[in-house]
Amino acid sequence: MSAEAVIFGTEGAARILGQHFGLSGKITPLTAERDENFRVQSAQGQLVLKVFGPGTPEDEADMLCAVLRHLQDRAPRLPVPRLVAAPPATPFVMLDGGRLAVLYTFLPGTPLMEVRRSITQAQACGALAAQLGHALRDFSHPAMHRRLIWDLRRLSDLAAIAADLRRVPFAEFVLPFIDRFASDVAPALDALPRQFVHNDLNARNVIVAIQNHDRIAGIIDFGDSVHTARVCDIAVGMIGQMADRDSAGAMIEAFLSGYECIAPLAAGEREILPRLVAARVVQNVVMTAFYQQEAAESEHFSGFDEAYFGWRVAFVQDLIRRHT
């Protein structure tokens, strides 16, 4: 895999909006891992223009559109983005050079990562995550089985990426964990319920209401959605609740209790969760190091240093010890 440079920018975004969607407005870049995202303040309201990264297959762009349409049809009250079709009502547009773009609504509010956390808030996050999972349980698309590095089932794929890093942070924990995953975690994971999931319920992608941070105003960014074990999505959501060492345990338990009020876990899912929570931290450590090495100019992974990951690594090490 490789980290691609930004090639459109705000001027290119303005051309895309005018040529393909007949729109104009104030454009503000948003951070992203692989794509170029822009917030658009237009006469039609606030929107997000996503320009998919170079090399993104057309079926993956189509899958994102299909997901948003599915949720519009099956769960119209869920607070997720809604597609804005380009004439003549196509789901996405083809740009010069083969890049693809899609336009959808912007959800107002404040990212979870920017506000103080609470038990009520974490429970609400869990409940909404379960509702979203329920709405996606029968979603199907040819691209949903893509091989994605952010799929926790694929954690062993990180070994090749870690081998190319100049330095692996917390290597004494991270590298043995990756090595053992195929034998210690994957077999149990393969036996658990699977479905299409959001797969990226981190604190950037959960939006809270501006006037009431305990109310969840939306879930954004379906770019890492994939068909995988349902419990992987739960583990990712739990990690998104971890803001500091002292409250992390209470927050992830509150998220889980909110989730189970809507969708109780199977026994096997509960047993494997501690190791999947640890796997997500490992995933974040390795992929952050990769992007900081290969795309140092990107702001998407800035600020995630060893102080950020240090207590998280210690927390999941302790979590595993207490559940083995």
Instruction: Say what the pLDDT of residue 303 is.
Output: 79
Name, in order, each residue with C-beta under 8 angstroms of 246's C-beta and a sequence gap of 6 or more.
none
- pLDDT score for 6: 47
Which of the four CATH numbers 3.30.200.20, 3.40.190.10, 3.40.640.10, 3.90.1150.10 does domain 9-106 have?
3.30.200.20
pTM of the model: 0.94
Choose among 52, 59, 63: nearest CA to 16: 52
Between CA 122 and CA 256 the distance in angstroms is: 8
- Per-residue CA distances from 200 to 17, 89, 183, 203, 267 (Å): 27, 28, 25, 9, 23
The residue ranking higher by pLDDT, 190 or 301, is: 190
Contacts (Cβ under 8 Å, ≥6 apart) of 14: 24, 27
Spatial CB neighbours of 62, under 8 Å, sequence gap ≥ 6: 91, 92, 141, 143
Q: What percent of the chain has pLDDT over 90?
A: 86
Q: What's the CATH architecture for 111-322?
A: Alpha-Beta Complex (3.90)
Q: Using CA atoms of 112, 116, 122, 124 in order, give the dihedral in degrees to the nearest 10.
A: -70
The span from the CA of 152 to the CA of 183, in Å, is 14
Q: Quick one: pLDDT at residue 98?
A: 85
Among the ranges given (33-37, 181-185, 233-237), the one the predictor scored with the smallest mean pLDDT: 33-37
Q: Is the pLDDT of residue 297 over 60?
A: yes
pLDDT band at 86 (very low <50, low <70, confident <90, very high): confident
Cα(225)–Cα(200) distance, integer angstroms:
7
What average pLDDT does the segment 279-299 reach?
91
Name the residue ranges covered by the structural domains of the chain.
9-106, 111-322
